Structure 1
Amino acid sequence: MIRDRLGKELLYFDGGMGTLLQERGLAPGELPETWNIRHPDVVTEIHRKYIEAGSDIVLTNTFGANALKFHDDECSLEEIVSSAVGHVKRAAEEAAGGREVYTALDIGPTGKLLKPMGDLAFETAYNAFKEVMVLGERAGADLIHIETMSDTYELKAAVLAAKENTSLPVFATAIFDERGKLLTGADVPAVIALLEGLKVDALGINCGMGPEQMLPVLKQYLKYSSLPVIVKPNAGLPKQRDGQTYYDVSPEEFAQCMKEIAGMGACLIGGCCGTTPDHIRAMTELTRGMEAKIPEEKSYTVVSSYGQSVFLGEGSKIIGERINPTGKKRFKQALKEHDLDYILREGITQQDNGAHILDVNVGLPDIDETAMMRETVEALQSVVNLPLQIDTVDAEAMEAALRIYNGKAMVNSVSGKQESMDTVFPLIRKYGGVVIGLTLDESGIPSDAEGRVRIARRIIDEAAKYGIAKKDIVIDALAMTISSEPEGAKVTLETLRRLRDELGVHTVLGVSNISFGLPARPVVNAAFYTMAMMNGLSAGIINPSSEDMMRAWYAFHALMNLDPNCGRYIGRFSAASDQAGGAGSISASRNRTGSTLTLKEAIEKGLKEDASSITAALVTEKDPLDIISSELIPALNEVGDGFEKGTVFLPQLLMSAEAAKSAFAVLKERMDRSGEVSEKKGTIVLATVKGDIHDIGKNIVKVLLENYSFDVIDLGKDVPPEKIADTVAEKGIRLVGLSALMTTTVVSMEETIKLLRKTAPDCRVMVGGAVLNQEYADMIGADFYGKDAMQSVRYAQKLFGEGK
């Protein structure tokens, strides 16, 4: 069993498949998976060469084999998967020489973005992965290898499908850019937190970069991961010579880099695009006999969202408490009226005011908590990138939220009651999460610190039975109101100290509980908050809009040298901040909500309903074209600039575009009625080239171009060069955008460009896709290479004479 060898010895993957099939005649647009049926000897031969080169783990030729991507009437999905597994098994029998070779069912991305960014539902993606994985296990695969994932949400769907429907080991790798980010914004710790929470067997990186470029990302993996790390780089960058694609890292150079990577601590190494049996042979010969570095258990406590990770233990974190009906009449009204926009504004305000994590509690007696929790979590994750704390005592609502949550959530809570632990811990084991343990049990809340610490120990010990490590437990020492329990604050502070010093566990408090029934509550709350942080509080559940609480937070971190050079404190309370909103005023200096929200702010925050309603009010007073020029375009430019600088990520960019679209719909209706015409800046044709069925990049570019008032003719995916050329000629198009995600389809992109040069020499061509770079774009004759969607917009603006 491969699990017995993981992390104990160096294991070798194979290399690329698509480029080798191209060399053997795979035509542009032909699906590589069909060769399992049509050319079985060729596929088997490639597997055999990799095994002879020293590969221990060989991937089946099934990267694109799922019902969403594979539509070939001549070859059923079951035939494809069954034959693909069989080819690896046959090659191993012929070439392994008694050495054990593992058949890895290769699972690539669907090629679509999941909702809310795209149109693919989470469970639809899950079912597509499930179908292939069940077929793969039935055919005899030894493990499932999920690779080239650029979105944590799709990654989660694939891992859950594997874990819930098969008994096979699960490996998972993602594709990062040079900043160490996924397409949708996740950093390395966020990906690791998600995958370790879902209990994969090994994790890592593949594709996108050559071995040298992967080193910074690998260092982060090795720093944060407790699991065996996989590294599968490309053979450098794609280039062209005599009309053929090749990669610029030789087998010898590749082997030297992989030796360094193995020496750093990677346990499973191999190759991706452009690597050949020669690359793998050079790698195995140079590294064979190297002692694997056994992965060390890391103690980081991490919660994550699609866009960031938050580490507990680095100062004291702020958990925003405002998305909770307790004591909040207006919030209860919003829940009853299904006013999601109010909830989203509360989330955005807390993020703007400094929260690190958002508590989400939607429990009211007269609503469907499960449905509301699911909808609220999905909606919040479309407009804020903070991790969420799932706050509910309803097990069904808890599981619904954990299943669709994009990241590793905080969970509030479990108690020392056996029934509570029996209910909550299986969910944490299944979905991952950092769970809050309440220091109460069947006998209630102990009146002394000793009793609370004893319950905390019991929670930690019981969690260990489910494989939940202490690092994934945060203990709530429980703040008892001092108006009824005079010793309450002292007991809580002692409990915090002992939990930190004796158990070495992180802590959390609902701070404002301390002052119920007292006048001037903010005074007591802020003083107690400071005392709690001094006694080891890892995270406080507070109102980030409270000036007193935030002043306490900033001052504590400055005083305890947790704010380098008092930078955050100075930035918050400098003279400039005073002028902006009074002496440290939180509410005055932050983004406004409710009726005072501007259209520009609504678009920047991705609030579709607000954008629509604000526009409806504005259009009664202002000219629609003025609104477009003074509100819509500046907002989109602001978000676009942030995206290019790396401060805004794809989900925020797309939700802002959707908000702008909802505003424009109101303006368009008004202009249609009045006879005004919104000036279009030009017409652009977009297409994913022949043979490629990935339309993520194309769809993102389309949304942005339309929001910048360009007309877009979207020809879809797998589009023949002739159709593109005919459309350009018929419509007199000046700009075409071509997308490709797979190495095997870049040839179609080049063919399309060559045809356009003949039939429409004045038409400009911009290209984009994960397998492209500037040098390669130049080689195939493109006029412009768009590294990201916003660059495509900038080029279109320049071409049509608009400027920025």
Structure 2
Amino acid sequence: MVKRQKLYDLLNEKILVFDGAMGTMLQKNGLTTGCPEEFNLDKRKVIKRIHKEYVNAGCNIIQTNTFGANRIKLAEYNLQSKVEEINRAAVKLVKEMAGEEVLVAGDIGPTGKLMYPVGDLSFDEAYEVFYEQAKVLIESGVNIINIETISDIQEARAAIIAVKDAGDVPIICTLTFNTEMRTLTGSDPETVATVLEALGVDILGVNCGFGPDMMIDIVRRMSSVTDKYIIAQPNAGLPKYIDGITYYDLTPEKMASYVEDLINAGANIIGGCCGTTPEHMKIIKDKVKNLRPIVKEEKQFTKLASVTKTLIITEELPTRVIGECINPTAKKYLAQAIKDNNLSLLCEEAIKQVESNANIIDVNVGVNLTEESSVMRNAVYEIQRVIDAPLSIDTVNFEAMEEGLKACAGKPLINSTNGEERHLDKVLRLAKRYGAAILGLTLDEKGIPKKAEERFVIAERIVNRALEYGLKRQDIFIDTLVLTAGAQQQYALETIKAIQLVKKELGVKTVLGISNISHGLPNRAILNSTFLGMALNAGLDMPIMNPYIDKMWEVIKSADVLTGKDLNAKIFVESFNDEKVVEKTIEVNEVKIIDKLTKAIVSGDKNSVPLFIDELKANGFRALDLVNNCIIPALEDVGNKYEKQIYFLPQLLLSAEAAQKAFNELKEELNRSTVSNVGTIVLATVKGDIHDIGKNIVSIMLQNHGFKVIDLGKDVDSDRIIECALKEEADIIGLSALMTTTMNEMKIVTESLKSKGLSIPVLIGGAVVTEEYANTIGAFYSSDAIGAVKQAKLIINK
């Protein structure tokens, strides 16, 4: 095991070279079928030879052949009982070839399953799977753990936490992006960097997906928000397919020509993914010999993140606001909704607050007689799928806090801790473990001090303890607390003084729950907004407030203009021009029930769908009318949002689930004589390929658009596919492949159809499949599920 500082010294001194593709090299050695990880047991000489070739090419880090050596992936080959044996053997093979100077990275790939709530893999199950593999790799003596090719930030979180628990070893984590620079579940480069940094990885970055040209901007964007070391592992360009052989179009020399740009963008380690070979890495090694890493400086701004977006909090940008309205205290309707497990109401409240310009949404579900842990977990899952704002996990219940943090697939704020040692210790442990920022209240076991100086002492204690735990100063917020002016008028200014002390002496961000100042007094909006202005002048960074109150925004937006936070008064002008005011006065608030059903499907609110359908039926709406005038238009709207990068995979699938719920509710009335299928399609992942996430997503979307889908599953040979297509009188055959080694099976299907004189159209897709390849085999192509639906409809209508 390499000590972290030694690794950091190397990274500060020079550019390191990671090895290249294992799959490509296995293919070159004739190993195109079977479980690649099992080759550690029965094809040891081949694996050792590949490792040795990368060592001879000058690679500084060699990874184990364990990409799919977790129990879920191995179960596809009935090898789940051999997790330990395979991983131990893999480490041994690398160590025998690596020598003293080369570092050994234990390779951990994804589970191949979608995480809840998009899929059915829970956070805890993913954690256990990753922990099991990481423990063996670390005990076997790897220097580094490399978590790679992850497409869901939540799966990355589970893997990183598992590795940290398995042993003290440097961690690399890379995610893979699409051409829109988003992960499968919608995270952009800044968000990936923000979340991984908060979780404490040593090196973060990007691998697979495409060549080095497109990777440059991803590295640059990551580097703009983090000072962490960055790794880039591009493919050798794009896959080409000629005469039954797959190759990648970037020569070693051409690939190496991008290296300097990657380094200037912020990369410290250059490696290779699909299509790269020892020849590629040797040329890259020669290229980096005279290049040095750029000097990285710590970012002084604060970052929070949702799944899809990072929020920067700094004195140079407009004031950020925490929306306080998801709180059942004194809100009977919310308390009852939580007791009834009606989380749709919480989601609506979150959406409205974001629409009212709240930047962070506070989530408080503390109601008597509820199991707060499970409610918090489910509330976070539901809320984060309908908004793109970061969350504040608001609870004093440690179990509920941890469940909320597990469920939150971004970088949240913990609201809150305080100066009481036992409480502070528990919250800091959770913040460090799950990668969260903290909000510290200036109170302790004695209560809230009256004087500003006494509150400052508690604030200082919180900050110092947080720094000792390894939190960054930028991830610490202090709330100097507001006492009610009605009962304790003499202490109102102590809060303001305390803010000034914290800003001057501690240099951390400040937060304040504004509305408590006016509790029990009339005309609360004026008192709140006046106090807010005083607090902002004293250095308040983020108010916690009701974002629906215009007077509060008037103060914030005016202050931002006068302090230079709103450059050229852009936001102020947009908010308060006369035209906007006129528009607001003629707004129509009444929403028709049919529009509510449409909105529920678009937002993925499946729980509300049956209620709206029952109401519509009671008002005489026919099922067929609802399908044609509501459900199908809603799905088309979702598709448009997905194409415009407003929606991402989680929203797409949840909307599809809501639509399916609607179809099920209407099933009895939709008799088969009046509702015909758009067409019949046989779907399959081709022979030799065990990956089916993409195919399953396509299946869901096709069904919701009226297609009859016969899903044959994965690893399906051409004869069975064609036999089923004939039996079902299929209009289309849909084929998926993730690996270059299985792409040829698509050609076998099209050629077999041709030889039999059959003209069934074939629609293909998958990570390695291109439109060019589709054209060469006489097939139609789509890059994603929405495109597959459109293409299928075009084929049917020809």
TM-score (norm 2): 0.94
Q: What is aligned with 1:475?
A: 478
Structure 1 CA distance, aligned partners of 2:127 and 2:84? 17
Structure 1 CA distance, aligned partners of 2:344 and 2:60? 53
Structure 2 CA distance, aligned partners of 1:752 and 1:296? 55
Structure 2 CA distance, aligned partners of 1:228 and 1:337? 47
Q: What is aligned with 2:51?
A: 47
- Closer/same/farther in 2, CA of residues 757 and 81 from structure 1, 3 Å limit: farther
Which letter maps to 1:607? D
Structure 1 CA distance, aligned partners of 2:265 and 2:102? 25
The answer as to whether partners of 2:217 and 2:265 remain within 8 angstroms in 1 is no
Structure 2 CA distance, aligned partners of 1:756 and 1:565? 64
Q: 3-state SS of the aligned residue for 1:69?
A: helix
- Closer/same/farther in 2, CA of residues 568 and 772 from structure 1, 3 Å limit: farther
Q: 3-state SS of the aligned residue for 2:478?
A: strand
Q: What is aligned with 1:787?
A: 783
Q: What is aligned with 2:511?
A: 508
The answer as to whether partners of 2:594 and 2:630 remain within 8 angstroms in 1 is no
- Closer/same/farther in 2, CA of residues 500 and 669 from structure 1, 3 Å limit: farther
Q: What is aligned with 2:600?
A: 602
Shift of 1:453: 2.9
Give % identity. 41
Q: 3-state SS of the aligned residue for 2:126?
A: helix
Higher relative contact order (CA 8 A, sep 6+): 1
Match for residue 542 of structure 2 among 523, 539, 542: 539
* Residues 244-323 of structure 1: pairs in structure 2 closer than 5 A: 244-313=245-314, 314-323=317-326
Q: What is aligned with 2:522?
A: 519
Shift of 1:224: 1.4
Q: What is aligned with 1:798?
A: 794
- Between 567-576 and 414-423, report the one with greater CA deviation: 567-576
Q: What is aligned with 1:86?
A: 92
Q: What is aligned with 1:619?
A: 617
Q: What is aligned with 1:668?
A: 667
Shift of 1:333: 1.7
Shift of 1:432: 1.4
- Between 117-126 and 572-581, report the one with greater CA deviation: 572-581
- Closer/same/farther in 2, CA of residues 571 and 759 from structure 1, 3 Å limit: farther
1:329-388 CA distance string (max 9 Å, x none): 211222223222222222222233322211111123322222221222222233333221
Structure 2 CA distance, aligned partners of 1:260 and 1:116? 38
1:187-208 CA distance string (max 9 Å, x none): 2222122212221121111111
Q: What is aligned with 2:101?
A: 100
The answer as to whether partners of 1:176 and 1:183 remain within 8 angstroms in 2 is yes
Which letter maps to 2:58? G
Shift of 1:619: 2.2
Structure 2 CA distance, aligned partners of 1:346 and 1:669? 34
The answer as to whether partners of 1:619 and 1:667 remain within 8 angstroms in 2 is no
Which letter maps to 2:603? K
* Residues 6-155 of structure 1: pairs in structure 2 closer than 5 A: 6=8, 7-9=11-13, 10-27=15-32, 29-71=33-75, 72-73=77-78, 76-92=82-98, 96=99, 99-155=100-156
1:667-705 CA distance string (max 9 Å, x none): 113335xx7642211111222222222222112111211
Q: What is aligned with 1:753?
A: 750
Shift of 1:173: 0.3
1:195 aligns with 2:193: no
Q: What is aligned with 2:177?
A: 176
Match for residue 459 of structure 1 among 456, 459, 462: 462
Shift of 1:38: 2.6
Q: What is aligned with 2:225?
A: 224
Match for residue 449 of structure 2 among 438, 446, 450: 446
- Closer/same/farther in 2, CA of residues 463 and 702 from structure 1, 3 Å limit: same
The answer as to whether partners of 1:232 and 1:271 remain within 8 angstroms in 2 is yes
The answer as to whether partners of 2:175 and 2:207 remain within 8 angstroms in 1 is yes
Structure 2 CA distance, aligned partners of 1:632 and 1:596? 10
Q: What is aligned with 2:372?
A: 369
The answer as to whether partners of 1:205 and 1:232 remain within 8 angstroms in 2 is yes
The answer as to whether partners of 2:305 and 2:389 remain within 8 angstroms in 1 is yes
- Closer/same/farther in 2, CA of residues 567 and 770 from structure 1, 3 Å limit: farther
1:703 aligns with 2:705: no
Which letter maps to 1:609? N
Shift of 1:215: 0.8
Structure 2 CA distance, aligned partners of 1:709 and 1:554? 48
- Between 503-512 and 377-386, report the one with greater CA deviation: 377-386
Q: Which runs of 5+ in 1 are unaligned?
A: none
Shift of 1:19: 1.4
1:622-671 CA distance string (max 9 Å, x none): 11111111111111111210110111111111111111111121111333
Shift of 1:563: 4.1
Structure 2 CA distance, aligned partners of 1:671 and 1:350? 38
Shift of 1:425: 0.9
The answer as to whether partners of 1:18 and 1:743 remain within 8 angstroms in 2 is no
Structure 1 CA distance, aligned partners of 2:604 and 2:580? 26
- Closer/same/farther in 2, CA of residues 332 and 652 from structure 1, 3 Å limit: same
Q: What is aligned with 1:402?
A: 405
Q: What is aligned with 2:336?
A: 333
Q: Which runs of 5+ in 2 are unaligned?
A: none
Structure 2 CA distance, aligned partners of 1:750 and 1:166? 46
The answer as to whether partners of 1:229 and 1:267 remain within 8 angstroms in 2 is yes
Structure 2 CA distance, aligned partners of 1:737 and 1:574? 53
- Closer/same/farther in 2, CA of residues 67 and 713 from structure 1, 3 Å limit: same
Q: What is aligned with 2:739?
A: 742
Which letter maps to 1:279? H
* Residues 707-746 of structure 1: pairs in structure 2 closer than 5 A: 707-746=704-743
The answer as to whether partners of 1:31 and 1:691 remain within 8 angstroms in 2 is no
The answer as to whether partners of 2:123 and 2:406 remain within 8 angstroms in 1 is no
The answer as to whether partners of 1:515 and 1:521 remain within 8 angstroms in 2 is yes
Shift of 1:433: 0.5
Q: 3-state SS of the aligned residue for 1:478?
A: coil
1:5 aligns with 2:3: no
CA RMSD of aligned residues (A): 2.4
Aligned residues between the structures: 788
Q: 3-state SS of the aligned residue for 2:417?
A: strand
Q: 3-state SS of the aligned residue for 1:70?
A: helix
Which letter maps to 1:85? V
Q: 3-state SS of the aligned residue for 2:149?
A: strand
Structure 1 CA distance, aligned partners of 2:616 and 2:582? 29
Shift of 1:487: 4.1
Which letter maps to 2:751? K
Structure 2 CA distance, aligned partners of 1:255 and 1:197? 32
1:566-605 CA distance string (max 9 Å, x none): 554455555664454318x7xx67x979x89611111111
The answer as to whether partners of 2:216 and 2:261 remain within 8 angstroms in 1 is no
